């Protein structure tokens, strides 16, 4: 789509596809035009983050899923969220655009959060850690290795404090080791349609400019 748009003298923008209104694509395109992206790591799926946050507070997995559905965050069939496919789509989109390396969600081959038990969460909590569905990709030689899977993070990680519907990303480049963008929703659990709308509006403004 990008090549087709360019061939016709147009711009193809897609800021809201990952992290809603956060300027994920714009940061690399405009703020770091000469930087070489080495890797990124983040939380891209608000539904699983809400579920894991509730489980850390003592809720059962099934009840946490039902709550996410009741507030309109999770679909009636939550498979794409809890099995990691929504996150994998976003990882594939970032890899495809930021590294100009086509990637499909199937190549990411995600692992979801169904296997995380209350016992695992309690043990992690006792150790000062917590589980997150971590999305990551790294340039290794001429290839890009991508992953979506539950990981333990500690308080030193920028991902540790992303609770409930908060999402975010950390970039590592050759000139700046770790640059973080965190999109924190308003208090509560719901994701933000306002942020997504802002991303669309920002794309429109940039195209007009």
Task: Please state, in angstroms and rounded to a whole number, the distance separating the CA atoms of residues 111 and 171.
Answer: 22
At residue 182, φ and ψ (nearest 5 deg) are -120, 125
User: Which of 8, 10, 41, 90 does the annotation list as catalytic?
Assistant: 90
Handedness of CA 75, 80, 81, 83 (dihedral sign): positive
Q: Are 178 and 42 in contact (CB under 8 A)?
A: no
Written as six digits, the tokens of 173 are 């480049």
Is residue 90 among the annotated active site residues? yes
Task: Please state, in angstroms and rounded to a whole number, the distance separating the CA atoms of residues 146 and 138.
Answer: 7
Strand partners, 179: 171
Q: In what order do the strands lie in the sheet with 167-173?
A: 143-154, 129-140, 37-43, 167-173, 179-183
- Of the candidates 84, 86, 85, 66, the residue with the CA atom closest to the CA atom of residue 76: 66
Biggest CA–CA distance in the chain, Å, is 57
Which residue do the tokens 């100009």 mark?
Answer: 100
What is the set of active-site residues?
Answer: 90
């Amino acid at each position: 789509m990008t090549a087709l748009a360019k061939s016709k003298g147009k711009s193809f923008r897609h800021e809201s596809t990952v992290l809603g209104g956060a300027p994920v694509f714009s940061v690399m395109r405009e703020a770091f035009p000469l930087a070489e992206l080495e890797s990124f790591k983040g939380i891209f799926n608000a539904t699983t983050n809400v579920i894991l946050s509730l489980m850390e507070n003592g809720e059962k997995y099934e009840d946490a899923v039902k709550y996410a559905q009741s507030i309109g965050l999770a679909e009636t069939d939550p498979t794409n969220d809890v099995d990691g496919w929504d996150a994998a789509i976003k990882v594939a989109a970032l890899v495809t655009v930021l590294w100009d390396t086509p990637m499909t969600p199937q190549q990411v081959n995600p692992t979801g959060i169904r296997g995380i038990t209350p016992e695992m969460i309690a043990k992690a909590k006792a150790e000062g850690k917590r589980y997150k569905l971590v999305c990551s990709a790294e340039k290794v030689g001429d290839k890009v290795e991508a992953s979506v899977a539950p990981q333990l993070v500690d308080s030193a990680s920028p991902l540790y404090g992303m609770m409930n519907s908060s999402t975010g990303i950390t970039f590592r480049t050759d000139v700046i080791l770790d640059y973080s963008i965190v999109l924190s929703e308003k208090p509560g659990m719901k994701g933000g349609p306002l942020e997504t709308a802002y991303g669309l509006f920002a794309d429109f403004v940039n195209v007009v400019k």
